[in-house]
Structure formats: C-alpha cells, structure tokens
Chain A
Amino acid sequence: MKYILMMHCPRTGYDTFGAWPKKDIEAHMAFMLAFNKALRESGEWVSGEGLADPKQAKIVRAGKDGLPITDGVFPESKEFLAGYWIVDVASPDRADALAAKASAAPGPGGAPMNMPIEVRQVMSGPPEQNSCNES
C-alpha cells in the first residue's frame, strides 16, 4: 500500500532553516539523504521531492474564459508543504514508523525536531464511482 508522508513547515521555516549554524544544516541534510537511501534499499521508495520557498507559491484558478488567474499566496496560510515522500509499505503502521523517523530529523544543536508529518494513503487510481465532488 502506498502512503504519502508530507512534511509541513511554517511560512517562516525556509528563512529560519537558512539561518541555522552550518553544521546543523549539514547534519539535517545528511539525515535526509540517509533516510532516502534507506528507503531505496528497503524497496519502499516510490518518489520524493523538496519544494521551493513558499514565497514563490501561487494559487491559480481558471477564469470564465479558462485562462489562468494567478494570485499570491493566501496571507492566512500559516503552513506550507516543504517536501514529501511516497512510500510503498506493507502496513499502515510501517508508514507511521517511517513518518516518525522523518519527524525526528535533527534540528539546531542536533536535537530531534519532532515535526508533524501528515500521513495519507495514495490511491492507485480513481475510485470506480464517487469522487470528491459527488460524495
């Protein structure tokens, strides 16, 4: 079963991260690279990406003519997606265990950050019937 592990960060997270001592940033990145490598080795890795600074984020809607209407980030957004992993695991508990591991990535001074990781099941395809808009 496939799960997505989503790492959220506060709007200020990217600035704060860049201001950490260099050795703490390096330890954090080394942890993430080792985490990714372990997932690849266990065969659980499906995909993973890091997202650019939310200051560049836009919200897009189609206008009446179908053309894009772009808007800056909604000012009320306090949290943004910083990155995610999609993993293929044998059980929901395994997804939780991996999320906990990512949650404990080292922060300033090497202390575990214990950040919240959202865990959602990934659908392998659209449901036969039913969708978000019909339920």
Chain B
Amino acid sequence: MKNLKKDLRESGELVAAEGLSFPDQAKLVRAGKDAAPITDGVFPESKEFLAGFWIVDVETPERAYEIAARISAAPGLGGTPLNMPIEVRQVMSGPPEEFL
C-alpha cells in the first residue's frame, strides 16, 4: 500500500487517499424535525464497509482499472494476493452547469 502511494505520487496521478477507521464505530446520521442530529448505529444488514479510498487523476478509465487491480492484489495472509473488490467511480469536477 505504501509503495503504491509512492508510485502514484511519482506518476502525478495521486489526488488523495484516506483510510477509514473500523466500521464498528460507524454511525448513520439524519436530521430530525428540529434539524438536530438523530444518530443510529450501523445497520446490521450491512455486510461490506468502505475501508479506504484513493482518488486518482488518470488519462483513461482503463488506467483507473489497472490501478484498482494493483490495489486489489495487495498481499493478505501468507502474502497471497487478497484480490479484493475495488469499486471504481468517476469523480465529478463540479456540479453540472444545468443544476446551478
């Protein structure tokens, strides 16, 4: 993970990266009628949680998939590639003009 971050920095493709704390501390928050926060523990049906993310600025979608595959293959127990699923989404540079 550290090597990947270094490589992406060097190629100029890294925009941001963060790791999230363990999901047992996650909360869902909604505004109540008085706009005060109503907090709720994690929904028990949630099976998967975001562990972290990278934002990369790439020339093509294929390059984003390549980077995702490299992250996916991060070594797990005994050094075996984890092959974890990485969700790839385009980041919008701003709200669409027609919405402003």
Contacts and interface: CB of A to CB of B under 8 A. Distances in A.
Contact of A100 (B31, B69, B76, B85): B31
A117 B32 CA distance: 13
A112 interface: yes
Nearest to B81: A62
A28 B98 CA distance: 13
A66 B70 contact: yes
B58 interface: no
Q: Give the bracket for the number of chain A residues in contact with chain B.
A: 35 or more
A70 B27 contact: no
A54 B91 CA distance: 11
Contact of B73 (A25, A59, A62, A70): A62
Contacts of B68: 60, 68
Contacts of A125: 19
A132 B21 contact: no
A120 B95 contact: no
Interface in B49-74: 50-51, 55, 61, 65-66, 68-70, 72-73
Given A52-B91, A58-B87, A62-B70, 12 more contacts: A4-B18, A25-B99, A28-B99, A50-B95, A100-B35, A100-B37, A118-B26, A119-B29, A120-B26, A123-B18, A125-B19, A134-B77
Interface of B: 1, 16, 18-23, 25-32, 35-39, 50-51, 55, 61, 65-66, 68-70, 72-73, 76-77, 81-92, 94-95, 99-100
22 contacts: A49-B92, A50-B95, A51-B91, A56-B89, A56-B90, A59-B88, A60-B85, A62-B70, A63-B83, A68-B65, A99-B37, A114-B31, A116-B28, A116-B29, A118-B26, A118-B29, A119-B39, A120-B20, A120-B21, A120-B26, A121-B21, A121-B25
